[in-house]
Structure 1
Amino acid sequence: MKLLTRLEEARALDPVSDKIQSAVQAAVKPRTLRDLLHGTWLGHPLHPVMVQVPVGAFMSAAVLDLIPGRRKSATALIALGTATAGPAAVAGWLDWSQMTKDRRRVGLVHAAANLTAVGLYASSLIARLRGQSARGKALSYAGLSVAGVGAYLGGHLAYAQSAGTNQAAPEIVRLPEDWTVACSLASLPDRKTAVRKVADVPVLLYRDGDRVSALIERCAHETGPLGDGEVVGTGRDACVVCPWHGSTFRLSDGGVVHGPAASNQPVVPCRVREGQVEIRQP
């Protein structure tokens, strides 16, 4: 849609976006809390999981409002949805703060729509508790309509702009299906990363003695150059830190150790044969 394209290119939103980004990053500093909210421990972003509770509660309340005698149940569900929307939003804001500008523009409007929807639901809850049932229902259906707009924009972020997806995963299919020489073992520095291109795909190689591991070189979070990243730790626990946003991955198996990346770095099968390092698709 042209409207969404214009929104992606709406640089007028950047001053507000930049200020909110700085505020979010300043508010959530502990690394353990960041990893928790990014979903690093889960294997994918936490925000889409958390939004299922308020969305489910609001949708169920909309159905119950159509059934006579279900006023108390609908009110309880709206209270649940309103209470759980906040934690879901916190996780979403933190993910948003690490996105590119075009995604942040869409995300800003997505958040504004959801905030408006929650405000309408909170007003609906107050009206219901005061015995104003008709007003409460009208406000909740208005909230559901606005939430639908927010959900549409969230879908655009996820599916059209690939926000929160593993940005490195598509590179795997571009590698050769058969074992292909990437370089000689002797050309690789010991306990340091090196980048070699195979079928025009940058591959990150890490040598520890005679053992070599390989990962897609572009970071799963926002395609940062892992080849420029610092190596921390030793042995099987050696990790590479993305120079762009600090995502940290184990070099031995691609496991994500710290966010903002929420999924593992794609591993490339690797072997050493007759002094040559060979790789292929999984």
Structure 2
Amino acid sequence: MTRQGPGRALAMLDRLERWPGADGVIEAVQRAVRSLPLGAGRDALHGRWLGHPVHPLLVQVPIGTWLSASLLDALPGVRRGQRALTFTGLVVAVPAAVTGWVDWAELHRPQQRVGVVHALANSAALALFTGSLVARLRGRETAGKALGIAGLSVTGLGGALGGHMAYRQAAGANHAEYVAHAVSPGWHRVGELAEFPHGQAVRRHVDDVPVMVVRESDDVVRVLADRCSHMAGPLSQGDLVDGCVRCPWHGSVFRLADGWNVRGPATAPQPSFDTRVTDGAVEVRLRG
């Protein structure tokens, strides 16, 4: 049997994930993005209202319109529609980029390293399609077509990098989705009630799934999956404020009573558990 490993492209991406050469720039850009006075709009850009990131939804428009414009260019005698399609893609590319940068600022460093190259490729595509539109408006159709083809090629590169981030690096994925499949039905004992101090988060396990246990009073115990749905941060190490827990990694806030994501960047709620105290022991059951 021959030994197989990652191809050249994947090996290059793996090296990019580990390359610290641009980390100084990444830190500066991250601080700049986080300092933007977006207020509640930041959660909207993350996609908390939608239940998943907005960025992948928006990028379909420029990709689709630019691809359509290039396909029309390939048809002999077709000269209508390319300008409108190119312009539409340019307009929607702006909010797509904004949502992408807001999401990027709350990722791990290996993801951010790939994300910077992803953004550079998309910026180059934006510049090429802008040039394509300008050339078409000036009657230089051949130049417009050439710039469009170049832009589409770079768009493909940017899309491939975005796919790597989403599917190999799990950027934007729900990191708590597995809990529903890993916890068996029924009640599970997590410890004696006396083991849980009032108002403190304690980490326990249910079927090898880490959970956060918070005893709010003598008869009220809250339990959530411990790994944050955003990027798997340890919620049991976060701050407890006003009936919520704040993730120590990126600041997502979840309600202890039901796991609802009160504030992003998390777009998915946290799995929560029913609780009961039986003979002095705390038992939990995953909510359906």
Counterparts in 2 of 1:68-217, with a 5 A limit?
68=76, 70-209=78-217, 210-217=219-226
CA shift for structure 1 position 208: 4.1
The equivalent position to 2:12 in structure 1, one of 3, 6, 11, is: 3
Asked if residue 263 in structure 1 is aligned to residue 268 in structure 2, the reply is yes
CA distance in 2, matches of 1:13, 1:279: 46
Give CA-to-partner distance per residue, 1:127-164, whole Å, 9 cap, x none. 00001111111111111111001100100000000111
* Percent identity over paired residues: 47
Give CA-to-partner distance per residue, 1:94-117, whole Å, 9 cap, x none. 111111111111101111111101
The equivalent position to 2:30 in structure 1, one of 5, 21, 41, is: 21
Residue aligned with 1:277, SS:
strand
Residue aligned with 1:268, SS:
strand
Counterparts in 2 of 1:55-70, with a 5 A limit?
55-68=63-76, 70=78
Residue aligned with 2:212, SS:
strand
The equivalent position to 1:242 in structure 2, one of 238, 247, 263, is: 247
The residue type paired with residue 266 of structure 2 is: A
The residue type paired with residue 161 of structure 1 is: Q
Greater share of residues in helix: 1
**Could you tell which deviates more after superposition, 152-161 or 208-217?**
208-217
CA distance in 1, matches of 2:39, 2:195: 36
| Pairwise CA RMSD | 2.0
Give CA-to-partner distance per residue, 1:4-26, whole Å, 9 cap, x none. 11111111121221222122222
CA distance in 1, matches of 2:127, 2:79: 20
Alpha carbons of structure 1 residues 49 and 130: separation in structure 2 relative to 1, 3 Å: same
Contiguous gaps of at least 5 residues in structure 2: 1-9
CA distance in 1, matches of 2:192, 2:181: 23
CA distance in 1, matches of 2:45, 2:77: 39
Equivalent residue for 1:251?
A: 256
Equivalent residue for 2:240?
A: 231
**Could you tell which deviates more after superposition, 113-122 or 238-247?**
238-247
Counterparts in 2 of 1:35-46, with a 5 A limit?
35-46=43-54
Residue aligned with 1:12, SS:
coil
Asked if residue 219 in structure 1 is aligned to residue 228 in structure 2, the reply is yes
CA distance in 2, matches of 1:195, 1:70: 64
Asked if residue 52 in structure 1 is aligned to residue 60 in structure 2, the reply is yes
The residue type paired with residue 217 of structure 1 is: D
CA distance in 1, matches of 2:39, 2:212: 25
Contact 1:39 1:262 in 2 (8 A): yes
Contact 1:172 1:216 in 2 (8 A): no
CA distance in 1, matches of 2:94, 2:258: 35
CA distance in 2, matches of 1:226, 1:163: 19
Contiguous gaps of at least 5 residues in structure 1: none
Residue aligned with 2:223, SS:
strand
CA shift for structure 1 position 190: 4.1
The residue type paired with residue 196 of structure 2 is: L
Contact 1:172 1:268 in 2 (8 A): no
CA distance in 1, matches of 2:263, 2:231: 14
